[in-house]
Amino acid sequence: MNILVINGPNINMLGIREPGIYGKSTFADLLKLLRDTAEAEQIQIEQYHSNHEGDLVDKIQWAYGKVDGIVINPAAYTHTSVAILDALKAVSIPAVEVHISDVDAREPFRRISYAGMACVKTIKGHGLEGYREAVLFLKETYG
């Protein structure tokens, strides 16, 4: 199985940005968790990060016909990007939305997820472990 993990703006700042909300784990810790998960589950995981909405749309489109599932944390674009929603709908690849924090317990605007409307599942508030949960869900459900 081949899974693409997409991270949006500021995820590369983990450990620096608001550790009271996102924890002290770093982006390098997240990448290690994904590598370890791929090895343990004998699957391929490609990680992609961008702070730019169009780059994220391009990567989703690139994934068409190449991956079996997508794990996506659109970050701030969760609440604003119809373009990411439309790209996910266009490729019809099973996608799981992940949020490190519990967005439902934060500001009201964070409760709106455009990307989530095209996802088969959303995992929120489980820290970095949510990524592993998303990968395992895709493997068990679509692998």
Cα 117 from Cα 82, distance rounded (Å): 10
Residue 22's pLDDT is: 84
Residue 16's pLDDT is: 92
Residue 133's pLDDT is: 98
Residue 27's pLDDT is: 97
Distance separating the N- and C-terminal Cα atoms of the chain: 6
Residue 103's pLDDT is: 83
Q: Is position 126 annotated as part of the catalytic site?
A: no
Residue 55's pLDDT is: 98
Q: Where are the beta strands (DSSP E) in 24-74?
A: 44-49, 69-73
| Residues paired with residue 2 on neighbouring β-strands, in sequence order | 44
Secondary structure letter of residue 49 according to DSSP = E
| Residues paired with residue 111 on neighbouring β-strands, in sequence order | none
Domains delineated in the chain: 2-142 (3.40.50.9100)
What is the full per-residue pLDDT of the chain (143 aa) written as tens digits? Answer: 999 999 999 999 999 988 888 889 999 999 999 999 999 999 999 999 999 999 999 999 999 999 999 999 999 999 999 999 999 999 999 999 999 988 887 777 778 899 999 999 999 999 999 999 999 999 999 98
- Give me the DSSP letters along 90-120: HHT--EEEEESS-GGGS-GGGG--TGGGG-S
Neighbours of 138 (CB within 10 A): 24
Residue 23's pLDDT is: 80
Cα 41 from Cα 139, distance rounded (Å): 9
Catalytic choice (48, 49, 77, 99):
99
Assigned token pair, 85: 């929603």
Q: Is position 77 annotated as part of the catalytic site?
A: no
| Residues paired with residue 122 on neighbouring β-strands, in sequence order | 97
Name 56's Cβ contacts closer than 8 Å, sequence gap at least 6: 6, 8, 50, 74, 77, 81, 84, 87
